[in-house]
Each structure stands twice: as structure tokens, then as C-alpha cells.
A and B are shown apart, each in its own frame.
Chain A
Amino acid sequence: MSDLVELSAAQAAERVRAGEVSPDELFAAYRERAESEELGAFLTVSDSGADDLAETPLAGVPLAVKDIFCVEDVPTTAASRILAGYLPPYTATAVERLAAAGAPMLGKTNMDEFAMGSSNENSAYGPVRNPWALDRVPGGSSGGSAAAVAAGLAPWSIGTDTGGSIRQPAALCGLVGLKPTYGSVSRYGMIAFASSLDQCGPITRDTTDAALLLRHLVDGGHDRRDSTSVDFPEPIELPSAERLDGVRFGVVAELAEADTIEPGVKALFDQTLARIEELGGSVEEISLPHTEHGLSAYYVLAPAEASANLSRYDGVRFGMRAGDGDLLSLYERTRSEGFRAEVKRRIMLGTYALSSGYYEAYYGRAQRVRTKIAEDFRAAFDRVDLVVTPTSPSVAFRLGERTQDPMAMYMSDYCTVPMSLAGVPAISIPAGLSDGLPVGFQITGPAFSENRMLDAAHALERAIGFDTSPPRRGAQAVAT
């Protein structure tokens, strides 16, 4: 069975269709690995999938689900103590749609508390280790989803991305991570962090698997339970491009040359640009003049929205309750004991930015910066088809290395935040290894250009030939 773990999800689905393995056997093989893992990637593991899935589009290939998605009667915590013991009375649309397409849930994965973080160290249930180097972080906030797929504990997974939480962990774990155009995937049942930015997407071993999951995530279109969800204008195709002839790529001068980008990351970025040209694409420098302010705008807008969204955790209707005095002290004690440091920090920051006298200086200005960044992208896409940047300024850092310095941690999102603010789709693919650690290459396009973006990513993926398997062997060694 162990060779099953080496297959991509699409390949596993082919084996199921060929009758070489049953969905049950596939589920059991992964379940065994997910149950005995020592990376801290899973918070819960499901008992079983459904057994009549062989004829479905996704053929019963099991799916790891970030613990931010509500699943009826399955513990859902967003990695927070404040939701300990919470059993949702309903299931998120994303999980429901993928299950209906034939991908049963294998389990719920660890994450930064309420998706706030870039290292998975903010989980109330312990950190996650990067299967490429066990003393390093897997990235975040979808760290458990990425580590699980990289280590072969799950064939594929879904996460959420608010400012980079799918793309950065995918980059740090040597995987493909895709943040769709805002609105493409319903947010119903996805625990809210910053509602105008949050978007669900796949973390997979290759671009074909990413396209397969995305196809079924957007299938069904507008969800009446999420008024911000929209119909995706065309079906998601499986990417097939092998060449990039005629495709114009823009390199963002402000991001690629920033001194926050590590030399090893920059070297692989430049190498990937050379590959684009070898495949027939053209590369030109473009400017997104306001992107350097993206991080500032993001760290006003996201905490502001979070401070409002997280006001619902008050110890009254669900989750934990603390305090035995009056109502105010019940609220305050519950929230103080239920939230960890980073969540408190962002609630404080957001509340401050929205408070009387500061609203216009922070929130109002940040919303205007957001407009400028979206305009920058629109102008860029008049000149080029796709824009490329490094995904993360650094490779996976050591556990504990950035926990004492919030600003250093926030810099992890430097290259991923601008696309979130503009609402455009972006994908990270592995570009290679720097000192044995994966480096991601980010491709972004105009709203709803996912098919074009996936095709370009596919052509590059073929040319790069990145081997995603080393951490799976490593993880097995750890588990035994």
C-alpha cells in the first residue's frame, strides 16, 4: 500500500477507476498514516469515508480539511481554545461540494488560531513540523494542510487564504497552493477571519490536482448562503500546456528586488524566469508602485474585520465560557482565556484602528490604498498576461525563530498580500530547493483567469520537474 502514498490524487483516482484499489482501501491507507503521524498536522481523523465513491468524479480520494471549515457534528475549533468542544450544526459549502464530487473528508488539519499567523505556531493545539526539516515551521496559517500533503498523510487538502495562508505554506512545504479569485468559492461555513479577503482553495502535489479540486469547489456557482459568492464564468479545465509561447509575464520590480527576499529565493526566482523564456514566454519588468504599502493596508483591514468577526465569541451561545461574576466579566474572562496572544493582538489592533478618532487615519486610508493596489494590478494586466513574484521572501524558518517579533512574522506575507487586497487569483508552485528547503514561485492573473494561470503553472511545473516525495519518506521514518 505504501506506494499509493507516492501517487498524486489524480493518479490515485485513476487506480480506483481501473479497479486496482477500492476507495475504502485508499481511505484506510491514508487514515492509518494520518492517525500515527507525529508532525502535529491533524487535529481529528475521520472514522471512514463512504464506500460507493468509485464512480464519482473524484473517485473517493480522501481530502484533508483545514479545521476552519464547519462540518456537521465533527469537532471544529479553528485551532482555538474558545471553540473547544464545538460541534457545528451544519457543513461548509466547500466541504459539502467536494464530498458530493467524491472526496470524503479524511480529517481536520491544524492551523494558526483563527487563521492568524504564518508559521502554525499560533495553534492552541501545538505547532506543526515541516516534513522537509522537522525543526522548521510548515508556514501558515494552513500549516497542517500543507504538512499533511507533503508528508503523504493526505493526498490533497483545502485551506483558506486571507493574505497568503494557502500560498506561503504550500511554498514552504514544496507544494502547489492556489488562492482563487475572491468570490469564486463560497465562504459559507468557513469560520470568518477577514470577510472581504478570506477565500478557500486547494493545496496539492501538482497543478492537475489543484485544478481538479478547484473545478468542484466552484461547480454549482453562486451559493445563496454566501451573498459575496459569484458564478465562475467558465468551467475549470485540467491544465495541459507544455509551452509558454506568446505568454507575457511581468516581474514586479518592487517585490522581486526587495531586500527582504533571501538570496537563495531570489536565485531560484531568476532561474524560473529563465525557464519561462526557454519555454517561449516573454518576461518584462513591470511596476506595482503601491505594493510596498500592501502589508500596511492589510494589517489595518484584516485586523479591523477580525475584531468585528471575533466579537461573536463571548461565551454565550457556543464554545467555552469562563468567569462567574457579572455579564461583562463573563465576556472578558471567556475571551481572555479563550484567545491566544496573536488573536488578542489583532483584535486590539483592529479595535484601535476602528475606534473613535482613528477610523479615518487607519481604516479609511487603508481602504484607499487597497483601491490603488487594485488599480496597479489592472494597469499591469493591460501590458502583460500574468504577473510573477517569489511566494515567500524566505524558506521555512526555525520553530520559535519569529515568535517574539510580530513584525518579522508579518513580513512573511510581503509578496502574497497584494493579490488578496486586489481580489485576484494567485498560485504558488515549487521552483526548487535552496539548501534542501523548498522555494515557491507565485503566478497571478486578472480576476477569473484561473485556467490561464493553471496552464502557465503546468508548463513550468513540467519544465522544473520538482520532486515532492522526499518528505514522505522522511515522515515515514519519523512515524516508525
Chain B
Amino acid sequence: MIDREQVLHVARLARLELSEAEVERMATELSGILDHIERIGELDLDHVEPTSHVVALENVLRADEPESSLSRERALAGAPDAADAGFRVPSPGAS
């Protein structure tokens, strides 16, 4: 049902690098799980509204007032590579 090419496509979307063995296993396992899941295809759901959230809430707002937040230092404290008051990453084009 879900083949190697699809696994590689989804892995790329999910930013996961899978080993050859993981690709094989993922294809088998995801197919098995999707087999089970696809039973919901049997239900007649044409006129049913989707539920994204169980508690009826609408536009939970607060007053738009400035207040203190996490300091820059604190926000950067856990970064693997902080530099010049920011998060340093390799250039998207580097290799």
C-alpha cells in the first residue's frame, strides 16, 4: 500500500533521514497501520461536521498590553550554537 518511494517522499517532508533498513521497515509497518485505519472509510460521514477541538471556545483573547517576556539571554541559553545574540546555523547553501 505504501511503497518505498512514498516513504522517502514523506521522510523528506518530515525532515527525517532514514537508513535503508528503516525505509524497508517503515513501508511494512505504515502499511499495516494504514490497513487498520482505513476501516473508517466504511462509515457514512458525508453530513458529519469535523471536530478539531472538544471544548466550545471562540476567540480567547487578552488585553493587548506590553509585558515583560523571556530575556534574550535566557532564550539563547539552551541553544546548541548561539552567536551575536542569535541562533547560528549553517548557510542553507553550504555543503
Contacts and interface: CB of A to CB of B under 8 A. Distances in A.
User: Considering the complex of A and B, which 9 residue pairs feature the smallest CB-CB distances, nearest first?
Assistant: A423-B54, A367-B50, A321-B80, A318-B78, A332-B17, A227-B60, A368-B45, A368-B48, A351-B14
B48 A296 contact: no
A352 B30 contact: yes
Given A89-B70, A319-B80, A183 B45 contact: no
Interface in A307-362: 307, 311, 314-321, 324-333, 335-336, 339, 341, 344-345, 347-349, 351-352, 355, 361-362
A332 B15 contact: yes
Contacts of B7: 348
Query: Chain A contact residues: over half helix, strand or loop, or mixed?
Result: helix
Interface stretch (A47-55, A59-67, A170-178, A369-377): A369-377
B77 A316 contact: no
A338 to B, nearest CB: 10
Interface residues of B, number: 53
Contacts of B34: 349, 352
Given A89-B74, A348-B7, A196 B54 contact: yes
A52 B47 CA distance: 59
Contact of B81 (A321, A351, A407): A321
A423 B70 contact: no
A220 interface: no
A282 interface: no
B22 to A, nearest CB: 7
B41 to A, nearest CB: 7
A207 to B, nearest CB: 25
A196 B30 contact: no
Interface residues of A, number: 69
A330 B13 CA distance: 14
Given A336-B18, A349-B33, A367-B52, 4 more contacts: A314-B15, A327-B92, A330-B90, A410-B33
Contacts of B40: 293, 296-297, 300, 365-366, 369
Interface of B: 2, 6-7, 10-11, 13-18, 22, 26, 29-30, 32-34, 36-41, 43, 45, 48-55, 57, 60, 62, 70, 74-75, 77-81, 87, 89-95
A341 B19 CA distance: 12
Given A86-B78, A372-B45, A230 B57 contact: yes
B70 A345 contact: no
Contacts of A422: 54
A222 B79 CA distance: 31
Given A325-B90, A327-B90, A362-B37, A196 B52 contact: yes
A330 B79 CA distance: 14
A337 to B, nearest CB: 9
B14 A307 contact: yes
Most chain B beta-carbon contacts within 10 A, residue among A336, A367, A368, A410: A368
